[in-house]
């Protein structure tokens, strides 16, 4: 009898806006991917909050979650994540309370501590706040959970309507040891963003599991690892598609974020040696290839991380190639 865990695969959608396309196009592409993910049996589908990024359309994350939830039937949807420093916890509790009331049992709230934007944009988001450098993240998370876990007869002086007592699942997300430690302390599931910041993945997983304290929400650690998967029917085609994400990272590091670039045959003339090294380091947790390559990569990742779940990101310029990539990823997972 095998003691191997079944491979749970989920989707991270950054709602990319390809060059020449609009945010509306990105939303329609997201819906097509969400419907496919539901059909193929993906565990959950998350959207990420970014601001002042002309290549990412999911700034109003809860609104987009509602659009996808209204046009799917069973798919679990959520945030990966809501950047809590940008918001008053009450507003997030009300937004996700509304979503959970409309789509019971289908909504996750993943929370991040980074602002998800530059300093100027952060000031525009929280211009009413006198001191944006005070870290209230642990207290804000605790406040959200206290509302969601309140008893039916609870009457706190301030309460989210809807939201109070709705038991909305809360995850903490991170790319360092901070959220690993906080997730462990609070007894919450933890997701690591190794799709763009892989350096501390194994250390964070160790810290989380070693320090986990059971809670009313979770009795044992539950860790999800996010990676990039760019899959196609041939390895050559996959590497061609991957150049869009590589170019996007170069542009971001040059301080010129923009729409998702079209793929190119050769990257040599587009990056310097130091840029190439930096991008390859940042995107080292990427499986790029055909079904066999992705299958072997997923098997290795599960063996090395013992993850309870793997989340897949894929910044692909062509919408049909993007759908095909996520289909191949699930095909590879199902064959393990």
Say if residue 2's pLDDT is above 50.
no
The pLDDT, as a whole number, for residue 1 is: 39
Task: Residue 69: give its domain's CATH number.
Answer: 3.20.20.30
- Residue pLDDT, tens place only, 100-114: 999 999 999 999 998
Task: Note whether 265 and 240 are within 8 A (CB).
Answer: yes
Residue 263 inside a domain? The answer is no
pLDDT score of 6: 73
Give the SS3 label for residue 190: strand
Strands in the chain per DSSP E: 9-13, 45-47, 77-83, 107-112, 170-174, 190-192, 223-231, 286-289, 309-313
Q: Using CA atoms, how far apart are residues 317 and 112, in angstroms rounded to an integer?
A: 26
Number of helices and strands (H, E) in the chain?
11, 9
Other CB atoms within 10 A of residue 216 CB: 9
- Inside any domain, residue 35: yes
Q: Read off the pLDDT of each residue in 289-306 and give the average, rounded to a whole number.
A: 98
Question: Is 272 within a domain?
Answer: no
Q: Is the pLDDT confidence value at 115 over 80? A: no
Contact 79, 113 (CB under 8 A): no
> Is-above-0.85 flag for pTM?
yes
Q: Does residue 308 belong to any structural domain of this protein?
A: yes
Domain range spanning residue 74?
6-118+135-239+286-332
pLDDT tens digits, one per residue of 6-29: 799 999 999 999 999 999 999 999
Other Cβ atoms less than 10 A from the Cβ of 219: the count is 10
- Could you give the CA distance from residue 48 to residue 290 in angstroms, rounded to a whole number? 27
33-58 pLDDT per residue, tens? 999 999 999 999 999 999 999 999 99
Domain count, the chain: 1
């Amino acid at each position: 009898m095998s003691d191997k865990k079944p491979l749970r695969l989920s989707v991270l959608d950054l709602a990319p806006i390809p060059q020449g396309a609009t945010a509306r196009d990105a939303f329609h592409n997201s819906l097509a991917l969400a419907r496919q993910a539901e059909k193929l049996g993906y565990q959950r589908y998350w959207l990420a909050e970014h601001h002042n990024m002309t290549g990412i359309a999911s700034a109003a994350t809860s609104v987009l979650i509602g659009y996808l939830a209204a046009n799917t039937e069973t798919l679990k949807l959520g945030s990966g994540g809501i950047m809590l420093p940008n918001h008053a916890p009450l507003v997030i509790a009300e937004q996700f309370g509304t979503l959970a009331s409309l789509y019971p049992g289908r909504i996750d709230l993943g929370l991040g501590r980074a602002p998800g934007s530059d300093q100027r944009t952060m000031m525009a988001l929280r211009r009413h706040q006198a001191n944006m450098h005070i870290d209230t993240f642990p207290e804000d998370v605790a406040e959200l959970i206290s509302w969601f876990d309140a008893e039916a007869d609870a009457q706190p002086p301030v309460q989210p309507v809807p939201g109070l007592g709705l038991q909305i699942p809360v995850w903490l997300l991170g790319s360092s040891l901070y959220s690993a430690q906080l997730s462990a302390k609070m007894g919450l599931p933890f997701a690591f963003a190794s799709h763009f910041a892989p350096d501390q993945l194994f250390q964070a997983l160790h810290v989380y599991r070693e320090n986990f304290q059971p809670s009313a929400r979770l009795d044992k650690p539950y860790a999800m690892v996010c990676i990039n998967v760019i899959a196609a029917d041939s390895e050559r085609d996959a590497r061609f598609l991957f150049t869009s994400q590589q170019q996007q990272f170069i542009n971001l590091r040059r301080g010129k974020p923009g729409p998702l670039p079209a793929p190119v045959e050769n990257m040599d003339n587009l990056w310097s040696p130091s840029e190439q090294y930096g991008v390859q380091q940042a995107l080292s947790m990427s499986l790029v290839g055909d079904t066999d390559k992705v299958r072997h990569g997923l098997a290795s990742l599960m063996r090395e991380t013992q993850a309870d779940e793997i989340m897949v990101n894929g910044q692909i310029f062509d919408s049909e190639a993007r759908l095909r990539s996520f289909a191949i990823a699930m095909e590879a997972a199902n064959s393990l």
